[in-house]
Structure 1
Amino acid sequence: MRDGEIQLTVSAQIVLETMGSLAPSSVSKTVVKSLESAKIDHVFLVPGKLIYPLLEAIDESPSIRAIVGAHETGSAFMADGYARASRKFGVCIGISGPGTMNFVPGMAAAHADQIPMLYIAGGVSSQAEGKGAFQDATLSGIFESGVVKNLVENVIELKNKENIQAEMRRATDGLNWMRRARSFISIPIDVQKQEVLSGQDAARQLYDHGEFNVREVPASRAVLDALCKQYLLKSKRVAFLIGSRGNDAETAKVLLEVAEKFHIPVATTLSGKGAFPEDHVLALGIYGFSGHSRAAHVINSDGLDALVVFGSDLNQRDSMNWSKKLAAGKELIIFDDSFDPPAMGHIGHGSIFSGIGATFRVLSKTDTDSSADFPKVLETRKAWVAEVIQTPLYDDQFEQVSAGVSGGDRSLYPGDVVKRLCQLLPKDSNVVVDSGAHRIFMAHYWLSSGIGNYFSSSSLAPMGWAIAAGIGIKLAAPERPCVVVTGDGCMLMHGMEIQTAARYRVKMIYVVLNNSAHGAIHIDAISKGSISEQFTKLPRHDWTAFASSLGVAARMVEHLDELEDVLSEASRYNGPFLIEVMTGVFPAPNRYYAECAACS
């Protein structure tokens, strides 16, 4: 066979394959194909009649696994966790009307933390609109698009099958970790069933989400050159503060390289916790909410020449309650890559638009050998850091644990529980933390291994988020152990989602710190008299029995020395395991933040 014949044969094959790919397909299958091309392998949903065609298409997908949650809010939280751990976007699906309304808390949490998400809703038939149809969520019903429009960048009501390709491109175009957008698309059930030619679009979607498409903000090289010349290569006292947009596994690796290269001490905000190893000699710990003594001492000091902030909103919690000490007596240099600039009018400093990961990669390649003075710079800076670390993360005079406010002598101190967990759990564990008093104890006493493996809903902080989000995180990173730390108040809100973990045999550990109270405000109720105790006290629910009733293996821990054996049992168990730890109500270790709040 001659070369020309070979070429003709190959061309004919491509034509035949293209013709086959352009065979009629439904709108629902086109939607699923676009998710496949984006390499999404899990979607989270609650079933309903208005999404039957979508469910059928998902069921036929060779690469997408559907996870059915107990509640649409839980499904949204799961998809949120999946996005954070996979660095893709999260997908959750439900019916219009009540389903979408239940998505709203998850939408708000993702919006607050800038998590890329796609919400898909199945609507009533387009022929039923405006007739008082059951669960009509269009403009003639509850107008759900109007409800969600402030929580997502793109609101799409697909009324015409011919627009499916263009609308899916619009819906998914910004769903990456550069633009961090969110989209909502509503598709009437009759349109879901209609046939379209979708093969060509699937190929285009594959290209759109493929390796040829840039998905990162580049570094501002001119500014970084100036930063090096004026500060990093000079004998200046410089510290880094890392926020949420610098908190991922890839960025954490190169951040560590840069910190060690220039010998720069590093603090994180609560939302940045996990970006730097907190047992490292250069670690300052957390600055702001749940902060550490060393971070507060160094950053609030006017002896610091420059504080370089990366990817932080510098909001109330990140800035120590808008403390003026953050910027006083030093140069404040802010790098960020957010397409939605945070509200930082209280700071009085503009930010430099520069990709956080790209910025650290550029800094890691800086030629320090060409600077004859750099060895002396390092010597001076190391001497300063040696002074800095004389201030411990935990200042002993403020870490004395008094008797529990409630619970008597048998009540475990949450800080001791967290320290023991940190000693016993594998260092590469994905740690997922809920909202409440336990969040403060975890942030303060858990020493992060600094590999981008600490997850929490930082800005909105809905209670119960971690219970569901942990499932998405584990499914996105199955090779890592996963532990969710939550409280009894959070369990009352979304504890039912542990049955989802049981249903799919998701191997993970839930640690429930049970203090029979909404701990953070219970302290105020009984020590300050802010409100009546009746509003903060909770019944002593048996979460061990609750978990067992849902098919989740569970054990109760009442003494600290029991924790090792129970964790060992949990690690061997092939499925979700809940550990209920009986704790008391103690003042949370948040002294520095509380002092700033009292002065504001």
Structure 2
Amino acid sequence: MGSHASLNVSKTVVKSLEVANIDHVFLVPGKLIYPLLEAIDESPTIRAIVGAHETGSAFMADGYARASRKFGVCVGISGPGTMNFVPGMAAAQADRIPVLYIAGGVSSGAEGKGAFQDGTQGGIFESAVVRGLMEDVVDLKNKGNIQAEMRRATDGLNWMRRARSFVSIPVDVQQQDVPSSQEAARTPYSQSEFNAREVPANRAALDALCDQYLLGSKRVAFLIGSRGNDARTAQALLEVAEKFHVPVATTLSGKGAFPEKHPLALGVYGFASHSRAVRAINTDELDALIVFGSDLNQRDSMNWSRKLLAGKEVIVFDDSFDPPATGHIAQGTIFSGIGASFRLLAEKKVETGAGFRQVLQKRKAWVADLNTTALYDYQFEQAGGQVSDSDQRLYPGDVVKRLCRLLPKDSNVVVDSGAHRIFMAHYWLSSGMGNYFSSSSLAPMGWAIAAGIGVKLAAPERPCVVVTGDGCMMMHGIEIQTAARYRVKVIYVVLNNAAHGAIHIDAVDKGSISEQFTRLPNHDWTAFAASLGVAARHVQCLDDLDGALSEAMQHAGPFLIEVKTGVFPAPNRYYAQATTHGEAVELEFDVRRLTGDRADVGDDESCEIIV
């Protein structure tokens, strides 16, 4: 596209994506987006990835945004295409991931006449359907508004605002030429500056945090949520934690923000929590809990446990532009950029006199005592035996620990929704590089299968492994064909327990529902993968996993490893015990039982975490 060549609406839209440094767009083709497809095809910098389903494309765009720290883009037709985007829109909205959704609509002259796949107000009125999931909804009817409307749609698509936008363009408008005055213009700042935009730190609040807590003798711990979980922020967090010797816990959505083998690691608090985090936060040892970038929602607050707030000060720093649902928290939130806050604290000059050295000595002694509590509570390890009727299936925790030992520490790990999510959150020891991805708030099954493709395309230099289950494969497993088509090197590990695992436990152990609703056919996912052009290997014993992973790492394209696992109880009970009939209760926690010489349970891989 020459600088003086006339651009139509479609090419102008694509040009705006080029200016934003977007290099991958995820789509499903259709007649209503032919002009957009032509413009994408002609782009010198944007690669189109055709998904098997619009929901998969939306998940891919979500994963791409998380790993690139840019925004994701997916394109489809109005009507069924937009409706299929909705699950992906909801997942991105729940986790506040910036994504742009572009739909091609019926011709302007056909609107409101019963046209095939009419998504306008005269048809299914899709803009009204998606409005609750979007910050901006644009129905572009006038080519003269292209510059203003694209600016409106894209201004919030960054990791400061974390917005989502939906743009619908009639197919005839897509083809209309745009006056030169309306063509996409380059921004007055560099792309690196655009991507680096963030909420600034609240210097006054952070100075007070240092003076009253970090530099004092109080026992202080950090709890990190999703908005502190990126590589740059994780590095600054590590520097701050070591500087002030503050122990760090993460929520499930914050997992990945701190290295879990570090002496200051408390592990995960809330869903799939670790014993050390529960002890530190839910007992009376803590003077102040400093929360960064978490909504303290149900999963992050241990089912709204009163122990989270009892007997301590709770101070919440956040940079969300949307008010979080924290009605159960009496304290207000201090608005401060999470990444900027940690970088400011890391750079802060501290007097290293006798007073501060004494503070550090006291804090180190307290942390050493905390570390006598294992991450894992031995009473819950493989507790109760197998729920399934097979004795030949592997314990998921053993599989996860072996994966953690074998995979490179810089691997991007993408985790799906199901029983395997519990075992991954509990047994996978994060390297603290902001490289653990999961749709934590909405948790649609099958999300990771497609999102992993976006993650890998955004960070091709890093290994990428997706951990999913057979139930998830039944929902969106077809997207492994997209990985094969474009030779996207993703390693898929399918933990096949022939059940909807988390629900199956309830059905068998508690009799909540009939078992017939939770069992799944024992499909051969290795054969399924091979039929779609994906190399695959079946693993029946733990030692076979070593060779399978070695083969997968050397393979040029996607690779699927199917592991037969049993259905086991969750490896802890804290989260389940924290609620009874939907009401928060006092959580039982016996510190004495978790201390002493039985610091950990399991093979030598799990023992590496003991300090």
Q: Same fold (TM over 0.5)?
A: yes
Instruction: Note if 1:26 corresponds to 2:8.
Output: yes
Q: For the residues of structure 1 that align with 2:247 and 2:304, how far apart are their CA atoms? A: 22
Q: Is the 8 A contact 2:106 2:171 kept in 1?
A: yes
- Correspondence for 1:504: 486
Q: Is the 8 A contact 1:322 1:346 kept in 2?
A: yes
The one of 113, 122, 145 aligned to 2:127: 145
- Correspondence for 2:550: 568
Instruction: Note if 1:586 corresponds to 2:572.
Output: no
Q: For the residues of structure 2 that align with 1:214 and 1:541, how far apart are their CA atoms? A: 45
Q: Is the 8 A contact 2:26 2:74 kept in 1?
A: yes
Instruction: Note if 1:597 corresponds to 2:579.
Output: yes
The one of 77, 82, 98 aligned to 2:59: 77
- Correspondence for 1:557: 539
The one of 381, 386, 395 aligned to 2:363: 381
Instruction: Note if 1:393 corresponds to 2:393.
Output: no
Deviation at 1:431, TM superposition (A): 0.2
Q: Is the 8 A contact 1:243 1:272 kept in 2?
A: yes
Q: For the residues of structure 2 that align with 1:288 and 1:566, how far apart are their CA atoms? A: 33
Instruction: Note if 1:333 corresponds to 2:333.
Output: no
Deviation at 1:200, TM superposition (A): 6.9
Report Cα offsets for 1:199-239 as digits up to 9, x if no partner.
77433446485627871100011111111111100111000
Q: For the residues of structure 1 that align with 2:409 and 2:436, how far apart are their CA atoms? A: 11
The one of 132, 152, 165 aligned to 1:170: 152
Q: Is the 8 A contact 2:140 2:167 kept in 1?
A: yes
The one of 285, 288, 303 aligned to 2:285: 303
SS of 1:308 mapped into structure 2:
strand
Deviation at 1:576, TM superposition (A): 0.3
1:217 aligned partner, one-letter code:
V
Deviation at 1:197, TM superposition (A): 3.0
Q: Is the 8 A contact 2:503 2:518 kept in 1?
A: yes
- Correspondence for 2:248: 266
Q: For the residues of structure 1 that align with 2:348 and 2:354, how far apart are their CA atoms? A: 14
Q: For the residues of structure 1 that align with 2:180 and 2:368, how far apart are their CA atoms? A: 63
2:5 aligned partner, one-letter code:
A
Q: For the residues of structure 2 that align with 1:485 and 1:566, how far apart are their CA atoms? A: 14
1:327 aligned partner, one-letter code:
L
The verdict on how the C-alpha distance between 1:52 and 1:291 changes in structure 2, with shifts beyond 3 A counting, is same
Instruction: Note if 1:182 corresponds to 2:164.
Output: yes
Q: For the residues of structure 2 that align with 1:210 and 1:204, how far apart are their CA atoms? A: 13
SS of 1:149 mapped into structure 2:
helix
Instruction: Note if 1:468 corresponds to 2:450.
Output: yes
Q: For the residues of structure 2 that align with 1:281 and 1:380, how far apart are their CA atoms? A: 15
Q: For the residues of structure 1 that align with 2:579 and 2:454, how far apart are their CA atoms? A: 35
- Correspondence for 1:530: 512
- Correspondence for 1:227: 209
Report Cα offsets for 1:124-178 as digits up to 9, x if no partner.
0001111111000100000000000000000000000000010000000000000
The one of 446, 464, 469 aligned to 2:428: 446
Q: Is the 8 A contact 2:497 2:566 kept in 1?
A: yes
Identity %: 79
The verdict on how the C-alpha distance between 1:321 and 1:210 changes in structure 2, with shifts beyond 3 A counting, is same
Instruction: Note if 1:419 corresponds to 2:364.
Output: no
Report Cα offsets for 1:100-122 as digits up to 9, x if no partner.
00000000000000000100000
Q: Is the 8 A contact 1:247 1:275 kept in 2?
A: yes
Instruction: Note if 1:520 corresponds to 2:502.
Output: yes
Q: For the residues of structure 1 that align with 2:247 and 2:427, how far apart are their CA atoms? A: 19
Q: Is the 8 A contact 1:34 1:205 kept in 2?
A: no
Instruction: Note if 1:247 corresponds to 2:206.
Output: no
The one of 305, 308, 325 aligned to 1:323: 305
TM-score under structure 1 normalisation? 0.95
Q: Could you tell me which runs of 5 or more consecutive residues in structure 1 were left unpaired when the two chains were aligned.
A: 1-16
Q: Is the 8 A contact 2:381 2:572 kept in 1?
A: no
Instruction: Note if 1:49 corresponds to 2:31.
Output: yes
Q: Is the 8 A contact 2:221 2:289 kept in 1?
A: yes
Q: For the residues of structure 2 that align with 1:529 and 1:213, how far apart are their CA atoms? A: 51
The verdict on how the C-alpha distance between 1:56 and 1:394 changes in structure 2, with shifts beyond 3 A counting, is same
Q: For the residues of structure 1 that align with 2:477 and 2:179, how far apart are their CA atoms? A: 43
Deviation at 1:403, TM superposition (A): 3.0
Q: Is the 8 A contact 2:383 2:571 kept in 1?
A: no
Q: How does 1:195-214 map to 2 (within 5 A)?
A: 195-198=177-180, 201-205=183-187, 207=189, 211=193
Q: For the residues of structure 2 that align with 1:526 and 1:40, how far apart are their CA atoms? A: 48
Q: For the residues of structure 2 that align with 1:529 and 1:210, how far apart are their CA atoms? A: 55
1:273 aligned partner, one-letter code:
K
Q: Is the 8 A contact 2:78 2:104 kept in 1?
A: yes
- Correspondence for 1:14: none
SS of 2:132 mapped into structure 1:
coil
The verdict on how the C-alpha distance between 1:118 and 1:466 changes in structure 2, with shifts beyond 3 A counting, is same
Q: For the residues of structure 1 that align with 2:361 and 2:180, how far apart are their CA atoms? A: 63
Q: How does 1:358-369 map to 2 (within 5 A)?
A: 358-369=340-351
The verdict on how the C-alpha distance between 1:490 and 1:206 changes in structure 2, with shifts beyond 3 A counting, is farther
- Correspondence for 1:132: 114
- Correspondence for 2:528: 546
- Correspondence for 1:11: none
The verdict on how the C-alpha distance between 1:309 and 1:494 changes in structure 2, with shifts beyond 3 A counting, is same
Instruction: Note if 1:62 corresponds to 2:10.
Output: no
Q: For the residues of structure 2 that align with 1:142 and 1:514, how far apart are their CA atoms? A: 39
1:589 aligned partner, one-letter code:
P
Q: Is the 8 A contact 2:226 2:293 kept in 1?
A: yes
Q: Is the 8 A contact 2:13 2:184 kept in 1?
A: no
SS of 2:475 mapped into structure 1:
helix
2:511 aligned partner, one-letter code:
G
Q: Is the 8 A contact 2:382 2:568 kept in 1?
A: no
CA RMSD of aligned residues (A): 1.4
Report Cα offsets for 1:512-553 as digits up to 9, x if no partner.
000000000001111111000110000100000000000000
- Correspondence for 2:591: none
Deviation at 1:438, TM superposition (A): 0.3
Q: For the residues of structure 2 that align with 1:176 and 1:371, how far apart are their CA atoms? A: 42
Q: For the residues of structure 2 that align with 1:176 and 1:335, how far apart are their CA atoms? A: 20
- Correspondence for 1:279: 261
2:557 aligned partner, one-letter code:
G
Q: For the residues of structure 1 that align with 2:509 and 2:192, how far apart are their CA atoms? A: 57
Q: Is the 8 A contact 2:146 2:182 kept in 1?
A: no
Q: For the residues of structure 1 that align with 2:452 and 2:71, how far apart are their CA atoms? A: 16
Deviates more, 1:339-348 or 1:75-84: 339-348
SS of 1:373 mapped into structure 2:
helix
TM-score under structure 2 normalisation? 0.94
SS of 2:133 mapped into structure 1:
coil
Q: For the residues of structure 2 that align with 1:212 and 1:337, how far apart are their CA atoms? A: 18
Q: Is the 8 A contact 1:26 1:195 kept in 2?
A: yes
Q: Is the 8 A contact 1:276 1:448 kept in 2?
A: yes
Report Cα offsets for 1:321-360 as digits up to 9, x if no partner.
0001101111100000000011101011110000000000
Q: Is the 8 A contact 1:46 1:94 kept in 2?
A: yes
The one of 70, 74, 79 aligned to 1:97: 79
Instruction: Note if 1:238 corresponds to 2:225.
Output: no
- Correspondence for 1:12: none
Q: Is the 8 A contact 2:6 2:180 kept in 1?
A: yes
- Correspondence for 1:10: none
1:302 aligned partner, one-letter code:
D
SS of 2:452 mapped into structure 1:
helix
Deviation at 1:400, TM superposition (A): 4.1
Report Cα offsets for 1:428-467 as digits up to 9, x if no partner.
0000000000000000000000000000000000000000
Q: For the residues of structure 2 that align with 1:354 and 1:314, how far apart are their CA atoms? A: 17
Q: Is the 8 A contact 1:440 1:590 kept in 2?
A: no
Q: For the residues of structure 1 that align with 2:187 and 2:349, how far apart are their CA atoms? A: 40
